[in-house]
Amino acid sequence: MIMAPPKELSGILVAVITPWTDDQSQIDAQRLREHIDRLVAAGVHGIVPGGSTGEFTAMTQAERKQLIELCVEYAAGRISVVAGTGALTTRECTDLAKHAADTGADALMVVPPYYDALTYEQLQQLMSEISSASNLPIMYYNIPSATGMKLTTDQIAALAKSGVKYLKDTSGDAPALTELLFERHDEITAFNGWDTLTFYGLAAGAKGSVWGASNIIPQLSMQLWDAVAVKGDLKTGRELWSKIFPICKFLEAHQYHAGVKTGMELLGYKTGGLRTPYALLGDEPRREFAGLLTNAGLKIVT
């Protein structure tokens, strides 16, 4: 059988939440289906389940596999699915990666072990083994604050030799992102992953953004993409960004996954909350966030 070439990733990829049942005992499949349908209707280009926004560290291996199965089923080929498969051991990583490939995911997003930093050689070996196990393109999740690995742009670009094709840059290092976009684009395709740098990243030529805030503002996210990345209309982009930036700034100032789910709840979408010890935001930040969403033209329901 001739295998179809993998989809090229680009555009707004939503770092999608994991909706729980009200007691957080399991994934709420119906809520997930409805959320993915909303995102597809808004025009997003893909979803990234099983990442930080999706609370992957609070899930069992079986639940992580179930999540990818559900997302591939509900996306139904309409948008790309990039499966988050980072874990603490090579065995877990390759198990998740092979499962994602067998399930029909388009690519993998891999955060390296996030307790004790790897050496660069260990990282290269890990990526090579994941690539061999899955035969899927890898998006390297560059988040030094969580992994303790601060790679140079040379090191990031060289990961292409180990099966890494894409980068989610959540370093917050705009000069490094600039170098990757302008000088290393022929080696690795960079996506912005730091909310408050989204406008800059798109204007500088990032192929897209892996963006948790898009769970809350998918329409605004797509308007920004169309204005800046597609039409090159920076004037309209700046007007949109004036609404979006305060939301991104707020999320980065709080527990991110809690902020995203709180935003969805404010708009009337039930998420099941977060698995403890985490929780939705309290009254004061909730009121502040409601004001920011209202200022952005969104209708608060609760």
Distance CA 129, CA 90 (A): 8
CA distance 217 to 264: 9
Exactly one of 74, 114, 140, 141 is catalytic; name it.
141
Catalytic residue among 65, 165, 168, 261, which?
168
Token pair of 198, please? 């989204």
Helix, strand, coil tally for the chain in percent (to 5): 50, 10, 35
**What sections of the chain are H helices per DSSP?**
29-42, 61-75, 90-103, 120-134, 144-147, 153-158, 174-183, 198-203, 218-224, 234-252, 256-266, 283-295
Amino acid identity for residue 172 in this structure = G
d(CA 108, CA 34): 23
Question: Which is nearest to 209 in space by CA: 264, 169, 150?
Answer: 169
243 is catalytic: no
Residue carrying the six token digits 């280009």: 45
> Contact 225/11 with Cβ under 8 angstroms?
yes
**Is 141 part of the annotated catalytic residue set?**
yes
Residues annotated as catalytic are 141, 168
